[in-house]
Structure 1
Amino acid sequence: MNNPVVIGVVIAYFVLMFAIGAWANTKMKSAKEFLVAGQSLGFFVMAIASFSSIQSGWGMVGGTGQTYSWGLQALIAVGLFAPFGFAAAWFLLGSRLNWIGKKHSVYSVPDLIRVRFQDRTSHATMSVAVFIASIAYMTAQVTSIGVIISLLLGTSVATSAWIGSLVVAAYTMAGGMLAAVWTDLIQGVLMVVMSVGLFFFAVQVAGGWVPMLGTISSTSAELLAIDGVQSPTYIFAFGLLIFVGAVGQPQLLTKFLMLRDMTQLKWGAAVAGIAYAVTTLFSVGIGLATRSMTITGDAPELENIDDTAIWFLDSVTHPIVGGIALTGLLAAIMSSASSFITIGASSMMRDLPGAFGIRVVREVLWSRVSTLTLVVLSVLLTLFLSQVVFLLGALGWAAFAAAIVGPVVMSIYWERATATAATVTVVFAILGNMIISSLAARDVISVPTYMQVGGISLLVSIVLFYVVSLMTSNRHPDATLAFLYGGPVARTDGSLAATSPAASTERPDHV
């Protein structure tokens, strides 16, 4: 693209992100600010940050490509179920997690496991799982970042992936989750405005809504059918994965730990769900318009469906409009990446050592080191894998959902839930998803087209957690719902001596 105006917009955007990171760095007193934004968020900031951290490169780049390939089935599989998943998460988890977080100084999903089960093994297992799944989810973001920056700057995709990832790492290392949340707010608003404008523009370019659908129907009617490209069982499993899996996404769950006043939770679900639904217009408009243009000969048959949004913005829109839109797309990707970087870094730096009774003294410093480590590993894994963005994102989503829905969501309601069941379920969720996906990516095995591995693994993990809980029992006397909601405040240094007074998290570790 190499348009001076576009390059100027990109540079201005990067400078704004760095400025927010620098501002957040001045507020950095302890791990509380770095990991949960000081538990100081209002509902609007929290709601927009929640949706923008989920609507990412997977949803906008991958979702557009999947709409181009699947048609309306992609909208059903993702766009229809995700907003309801937001609502379910808010009403099932919001007030409970906010209460637990403030009572027990919980800053992460592994922290929830620590307080609920008072067990080192399940705590350590969840810490490792969150770190691995964060890297898996980050691969989708890194892939998208590489494609977009390569188009904007003319560098190779691999080089662009490194550039974009290190930019995100820089402002996240400076300001942690506090920086991530406030950049998410700006990025989320930008995504909503961009999605609405480009939806109407794309439909107009394709000749209007009805003519566009008529063109698609004339040669590819299956793209407009519920049982079209993919089998109904596949779409059902995918929809189930998106709906149920939404309550198992740590980038959403940790936002509940950051809210200043839980009485504002009732408004958050509507704001986040509506904002997410609006941004799906981006994928629907550009995906269907590009498919219609391909049929009429106004667009080439795309070899890589991930190129759908990029091709449209580069070839159909005015260079300046396209460049600004690509910057907005980059914002969507970075909003999700920054949250996962912080979540993954926390699991490696704070949660895993804490599970073994090791107290990290300079938490903010080591959080920054962990942040850089996670980013480097994510880029390296991205260059190794060759799957499309949508499937990479689905891999991370499925891994989180299968690992968290049982051990966290079910356990805060069900007294009978056990630490052993949590450990077994987490191991199954991570190994099952990772092994099958990696082998399939290398053509070592082939997965039947009517199966959606993520949705099936989620169902199996829930059943597994239930069955193992019935067969086992907890060892620690405080592994009860009574302690979780009404017992003494737990310590925050990884110790399981939860009846002691709360330890302060304020340390002179600002570097």
Structure 2
Amino acid sequence: MNNPVVIGVVLAYFVLMFAIGAWANTKMKSAKEFLVAGQSLGFFVMAIASFSSIQSGWGMVGGTGQTYAWGFQALIAVGLFAPFGFAVAWFLLGSRLNWIGKKHSVYSVPDLIRVRFQDKTSHATMSVAVFVAAVAYMTAQVTSIGVIISLLLGTSVATSAWIGSLVVAAYTMAGGMLAAVWTDLVQGVLMVVMSVGLFIFAVQVAGGWVPMLETISSASAELLSIDGVKSPTYIFAFGLLIFVGAVGQPQLLTKFLMLRDMTQLKWGAAVAGIAYGVTTLFSVGIGLATRSMVVTGDAPELANIDDTAIWFLDSVTHPIVGGIALTGLLAAIMSSASSFITIGASSMMRDLPTAFGIKVVRELLWSRISSLVLVVLSVLLTLFLSQVVFLLGALGWAAFAAAIVGPVVMSIYWHRATATAATVTVIFAIVGNLVISSLAAREVITMPAYMQVGGISLLVSILLFYVVSLMTSNRHPDATLAHLYGGPTTSSDGAAARVAAASTERNDHV
């Protein structure tokens, strides 16, 4: 593309991100500001930041490719289930995590495991798991960043990956999660506007909504069927992974620890869910339009489905429009990357040393160093991996979901949850997903067409957590819901949360 106007837009976007990072840096006084934005966010900023940190290169680049390949099944699996997953996460976890975070100074998911189970092994295991899954997810973002910047600036993919990653690293290292959420706000608004505009444009290019669908149906009717390309069991498992997995994403759960006033949670669920749903229009419009254009001969059959969004923006739109849209797509990817940098750095710098009784001095400095290490590691892995964006993103999503739904979501409601069950489940989630996905990608093993590995691993992890919890017990006397929610408070909201937790525990005993 390499258009002067486009390059100007990209550079202006980078400058804005740097400016937000510099502003956030002036607020950095401790690890609390760096890791949870000082627990000072209002609901709108937090809601937009939560959706934009999840709607990433996987959702927009990978999701567009899946729509091109799967048709309506991709919309069902991702576009419908994910927004409902947001709502469930907000209502099930929002107030409880916010209360726990303020009471126990919890800054991360591993922190929550530490407070809930009072156990070093489960704390250390979750710390490693979050770091590994963050790197896997970051690798998907870096892959997308490299491709997009190479188109925008005319540089090689490898050079572009370094440029984009270091830009994200710079503003995140400067301002931590505070910079991440405010850049997420800007990026989230860009994503919504871009998605609506490009949906309308893509449908018009394909001749209109009905003619586009008729063209697709004439060549591949299964693309418009619920039980089309993939088997119903596969789509069900994938939809379950997206729905339940949304509840287990640390970039979302960490946002609950940042909210200033938990009474605003009810509004945030609607804002985040609707915004995410609107941005799926990007994948629907471009994915279906490109498929229609392939049928009519106006587009080539794409060898790599991850090229769908990039090809459309580079070949169909006006260079300036396409460049601005690619910048918006870059914003989506960077918003997710910045959150994972901070989450991964927290696990590496704060959670893992704490699990082994190591006191880290100058936490703010080491948070920044850990952020840089994670980014460099992700870029190096990207340059040596040939996995597609959707596979890498799905691996990160599935690993997080399987590792977090039981040990975190179930444990803050269920008094019988144990540290041993948390440890076993987390190990299974990370090792199982990594090994099976890697072997399948290299065709060492062949997975049945009706089986979706991530969804099945999520179900197995939940069952495993439940069974092992029933078979074991906690050693520490404070590994109880009473300790988790109890204690003095002057907040009526906190009191309500404590009463609800006590009621939950009584019901569990009945």
Deviation (angstroms), 1:385: 2.2
Residues 472 and 304 (structure 1), Cα distance of their counterparts in 2 relative to 1, 3 Å cut = same
CA distance in 1, matches of 2:162, 2:503: 38
* Contact 1:358/1:494 (<8 A) preserved: no
**Cα deviation per residue 1:313-332 (whole Å; 9 max; x = unaligned)?**
11111111100000000000
Q: Give the match for residue 21 of structure 2.
A: 21
CA distance in 2, matches of 1:12, 1:509: 55
CA distance in 1, matches of 2:410, 2:210: 45
CA distance in 1, matches of 2:493, 2:138: 28
CA distance in 2, matches of 1:315, 1:103: 54
Deviation (angstroms), 1:506: 34
Deviation (angstroms), 1:491: 20
* Contact 1:234/1:452 (<8 A) preserved: yes
- The 3-state SS of whatever aligns with 1:505 is helix
Deviates more, 1:378-387 or 1:35-44: 378-387
Deviation (angstroms), 1:386: 1.5
* Contact 1:109/1:254 (<8 A) preserved: yes
* Contact 1:31/1:505 (<8 A) preserved: no
* Contact 2:262/2:493 (<8 A) preserved: no
Residues 503 and 319 (structure 1), Cα distance of their counterparts in 2 relative to 1, 3 Å cut = farther
Residues 491 and 480 (structure 1), Cα distance of their counterparts in 2 relative to 1, 3 Å cut = farther
Deviation (angstroms), 1:450: 1.4
Deviates more, 1:307-316 or 1:39-48: 307-316
CA distance in 1, matches of 2:504, 2:186: 29
**Cα deviation per residue 1:106-159 (whole Å; 9 max; x = unaligned)?**
000000000000000000000000000000111111111011011111112122
Residues 6 and 462 (structure 1), Cα distance of their counterparts in 2 relative to 1, 3 Å cut = same
Residues 88 and 503 (structure 1), Cα distance of their counterparts in 2 relative to 1, 3 Å cut = closer
Residues 442 and 185 (structure 1), Cα distance of their counterparts in 2 relative to 1, 3 Å cut = same
Residues 264 and 494 (structure 1), Cα distance of their counterparts in 2 relative to 1, 3 Å cut = closer
CA distance in 2, matches of 1:247, 1:43: 18
Deviation (angstroms), 1:379: 1.4
Residues 506 and 146 (structure 1), Cα distance of their counterparts in 2 relative to 1, 3 Å cut = farther
* Contact 2:481/2:505 (<8 A) preserved: no
CA distance in 2, matches of 1:458, 1:504: 28
Residues 493 and 172 (structure 1), Cα distance of their counterparts in 2 relative to 1, 3 Å cut = farther
CA distance in 2, matches of 1:398, 1:503: 31
* Contact 1:104/1:492 (<8 A) preserved: no
CA distance in 2, matches of 1:480, 1:252: 24
Residues 148 and 493 (structure 1), Cα distance of their counterparts in 2 relative to 1, 3 Å cut = farther
Residues 254 and 490 (structure 1), Cα distance of their counterparts in 2 relative to 1, 3 Å cut = farther
Deviation (angstroms), 1:388: 1.4
Residues 90 and 415 (structure 1), Cα distance of their counterparts in 2 relative to 1, 3 Å cut = same
Taking structure 2 as the reference length, what is the TM-score of the superposition?
A: 0.95
* Contact 1:365/1:509 (<8 A) preserved: no
Residues 130 and 509 (structure 1), Cα distance of their counterparts in 2 relative to 1, 3 Å cut = farther
Deviation (angstroms), 1:510: 47
Residue segments in structure 1 that go unaligned for 5+ positions in a row? none
Residues 75 and 508 (structure 1), Cα distance of their counterparts in 2 relative to 1, 3 Å cut = closer
Deviation (angstroms), 1:376: 1.1
- The 3-state SS of whatever aligns with 1:494 is helix
Deviates more, 1:9-18 or 1:388-397: 388-397
Count of aligned positions: 510
Residues 155 and 228 (structure 1), Cα distance of their counterparts in 2 relative to 1, 3 Å cut = same
* Contact 1:407/1:425 (<8 A) preserved: yes
Residues 498 and 414 (structure 1), Cα distance of their counterparts in 2 relative to 1, 3 Å cut = closer
CA distance in 2, matches of 1:508, 1:463: 21
Deviates more, 1:176-185 or 1:303-312: 303-312
Q: Give the match for residue 499 of structure 1.
A: 498
* Contact 2:413/2:501 (<8 A) preserved: no
**Cα deviation per residue 1:139-190 (whole Å; 9 max; x = unaligned)?**
1111110110111111121221111111111111111000000000000000
What is the correspondence of 1:24-63 to structure 2 with a 5 Å cutoff?
24-63=24-63
Residues 493 and 338 (structure 1), Cα distance of their counterparts in 2 relative to 1, 3 Å cut = farther
* Contact 1:125/1:426 (<8 A) preserved: yes
* Contact 1:491/1:503 (<8 A) preserved: no
CA distance in 2, matches of 1:504, 1:467: 23
CA distance in 2, matches of 1:77, 1:229: 13
Residues 287 and 498 (structure 1), Cα distance of their counterparts in 2 relative to 1, 3 Å cut = closer
* Contact 1:362/1:509 (<8 A) preserved: no
CA distance in 1, matches of 2:187, 2:232: 35
Residues 140 and 227 (structure 1), Cα distance of their counterparts in 2 relative to 1, 3 Å cut = same
Residues 304 and 362 (structure 1), Cα distance of their counterparts in 2 relative to 1, 3 Å cut = same
- The 3-state SS of whatever aligns with 1:38 is helix
Residues 198 and 245 (structure 1), Cα distance of their counterparts in 2 relative to 1, 3 Å cut = same
Q: CA RMSD in A?
A: 6.2
Residues 164 and 216 (structure 1), Cα distance of their counterparts in 2 relative to 1, 3 Å cut = same
Residues 171 and 506 (structure 1), Cα distance of their counterparts in 2 relative to 1, 3 Å cut = farther
* Contact 1:342/1:371 (<8 A) preserved: yes
Deviation (angstroms), 1:487: 3.6
Residues 294 and 95 (structure 1), Cα distance of their counterparts in 2 relative to 1, 3 Å cut = same
CA distance in 2, matches of 1:509, 1:26: 47
**Cα deviation per residue 1:78-129 (whole Å; 9 max; x = unaligned)?**
1110000000000100000000000000000000000000000000000000
- The 3-state SS of whatever aligns with 1:366 is helix
CA distance in 2, matches of 1:506, 1:408: 16
Q: Give the match for residue 152 of structure 1.
A: 152
CA distance in 2, matches of 1:117, 1:47: 29
What is the correspondence of 1:128-139 to structure 2 with a 5 Å cutoff?
128-139=128-139
Residues 488 and 414 (structure 1), Cα distance of their counterparts in 2 relative to 1, 3 Å cut = same
Residues 504 and 240 (structure 1), Cα distance of their counterparts in 2 relative to 1, 3 Å cut = closer
* Contact 1:29/1:507 (<8 A) preserved: no
CA distance in 2, matches of 1:79, 1:375: 29
* Contact 1:125/1:423 (<8 A) preserved: yes
Residues 506 and 359 (structure 1), Cα distance of their counterparts in 2 relative to 1, 3 Å cut = farther
* Contact 2:407/2:425 (<8 A) preserved: yes
CA distance in 2, matches of 1:441, 1:94: 36
CA distance in 1, matches of 2:491, 2:477: 16
Taking structure 1 as the reference length, what is the TM-score of the superposition?
A: 0.95
Residues 358 and 366 (structure 1), Cα distance of their counterparts in 2 relative to 1, 3 Å cut = same
Residues 37 and 506 (structure 1), Cα distance of their counterparts in 2 relative to 1, 3 Å cut = farther
* Contact 1:411/1:417 (<8 A) preserved: yes
CA distance in 2, matches of 1:422, 1:247: 17
**Cα deviation per residue 1:411-432 (whole Å; 9 max; x = unaligned)?**
0000000000000000000000
* Contact 1:428/1:461 (<8 A) preserved: yes
CA distance in 1, matches of 2:324, 2:504: 42
**Cα deviation per residue 1:464-494 (whole Å; 9 max; x = unaligned)?**
0000000000000000000000047999999
CA distance in 2, matches of 1:494, 1:371: 33
Residues 86 and 506 (structure 1), Cα distance of their counterparts in 2 relative to 1, 3 Å cut = closer
Q: Give the match for residue 321 of structure 2.
A: 321
CA distance in 2, matches of 1:306, 1:367: 33
CA distance in 2, matches of 1:498, 1:476: 23
- The 3-state SS of whatever aligns with 1:299 is coil
Residue segments in structure 2 that go unaligned for 5+ positions in a row? none
